[in-house]
Structure 1
């Protein structure tokens, strides 16, 4: 593999790198998932119980303590409210996981930079793969909760991965950008946690878009997570088809972000060894 191919920054090279290294990405993702709970008694089962516990806690806090209701009529049960809320949490967590981890990806793998000929661009893919796995586990918990509470869940749930696709590409784009920036600006890792926390409260996770005054709704719609959260609730809870036009536009935007992030990463990676 020549250096020109390794450092190519074109959109085509982005997909070629993924396909060429797909087995390595899968292997590293599997190792990361299993390594997170290595040594614990319950092992990988924690990946199931963590979102389940989170669902129970959010149900208690928002529907019992704060007595929040999603609809204006307040007709839904506590369980139904928790399910609606949990969809937003799943989407936000997927994005937050990759953004929060990205600044430390290169720093945590210095040996790959200095000692080994290694395709560094796959590290954000590995982080994203891990985040997607936990999102799918959380979705399983969500569907089981619906099965218990409503005795059914909509078949349109199979469309959820398609709804997430624009967010997946946008997330990997941010991952590449922040992974590179984190090498040169170490403080960026402190800012991403603050950013994702603020973004959670500026997204329709804990409240519907309709709960905001009209003058603020426009700003909420500019939040890229808003569309994905709203469309996810359509397919996972309401049993409706998503807005394919809006998702197509979001997918184009996500691909543009991914291409820009990959370009930035490839153009700046030559200085990693000098800085580290």
Structure 2
């Protein structure tokens, strides 16, 4: 009975905390986005030019230098490979930025940690909000490029939130775990750098899963990013709706990770001030 009550308590605490501090989350996220480019000549415009430059580089390298084509190519147009690659890279970049920053979030915000009344659980949310803001700009550039290069944007893009919501939920859970563990394990940030590099080359970023031998496909599918990268491409580029079965499975697992992450963070936060 006590376990069930505790589980319900954490579920309520998670949702109520986000709702209660929603204005603070928004203001601090806005401040972090602006602060990221403070002092630069172009300022916030860099958030637009960075992904635009990357898309240009992808288009040149893969369509001009390597003359690469995707395994499930739609029409073989010049920059098609770059568009497909860029769609997957947006998902990976959200993941990479959050995962690499998470272990140092509490250390970088020691002044908040030592304030008894400050809601520390929102700090990883602010980092995620910053990553999502830049991803939104990248998605906008992707859609413009897709319209120019491929000539159309499929209506299935309306299903993109169905793919992203479980992704964001799971990522938030992982960030809470890493933010808490990073206080006690200072080497964790170095390990995450290695882990994201490994995941980049074992994710279906530069190739579709279907391009691998059938014997290897199930193993690559175990990569937590594989589902989200493949489904994002499906709804944005290939005009395919997400699999209902896979969506339900991803949603259930994401909610489990989300709650486990929040629970772990809340149970370990009491020792943050002593360690820092």
Check the 8 A contact 1:102/1:176 in 2, yes or no: yes
Distance in 2 (CA, whole Å) between partners of 1:69 and 1:84 is: 10
Consecutive unaligned residues in structure 2, runs of 5 or more: 1-7
Distance in 2 (CA, whole Å) between partners of 1:129 and 1:53 is: 22
Distance in 1 (CA, whole Å) between partners of 2:247 and 2:232 is: 11
Distance in 2 (CA, whole Å) between partners of 1:132 and 1:101 is: 14
Q: Deviations over 1:83-127 (max 9, x none)?
A: 111111011111111111101110001011113520000011111
Cross-structure match for 1:21: 21
Structure 1 residue 12 corresponds to structure 2 residue 12 = yes
Cross-structure match for 2:141: 141
RMSD after superposition: 1.7
Check the 8 A contact 1:112/1:118 in 2, yes or no: yes
Distance in 1 (CA, whole Å) between partners of 2:111 and 2:9 is: 23
Structure 1 residue 195 corresponds to structure 2 residue 195 = yes
Q: Deviations over 1:165-221 (max 9, x none)?
A: 111011001100000111111110111111111101111111011111111101011
Paired positions, count: 269
Greater shift in the superposed pair: 178-187 or 159-168: 159-168
Cross-structure match for 1:104: 104
Distance in 2 (CA, whole Å) between partners of 1:55 and 1:201 is: 19
Cross-structure match for 2:129: 129
Cross-structure match for 2:81: 81
Cross-structure match for 1:167: 167
Which secondary structure state, in structure 2, belongs to the residue aligned with residue 12 of structure 1?
A: helix
Distance in 2 (CA, whole Å) between partners of 1:73 and 1:147 is: 16
Q: Deviations over 1:28-48 (max 9, x none)?
A: 111111111112222111111
Cross-structure match for 1:3: none
Distance in 2 (CA, whole Å) between partners of 1:129 and 1:207 is: 29
Consecutive unaligned residues in structure 1, runs of 5 or more: 1-7
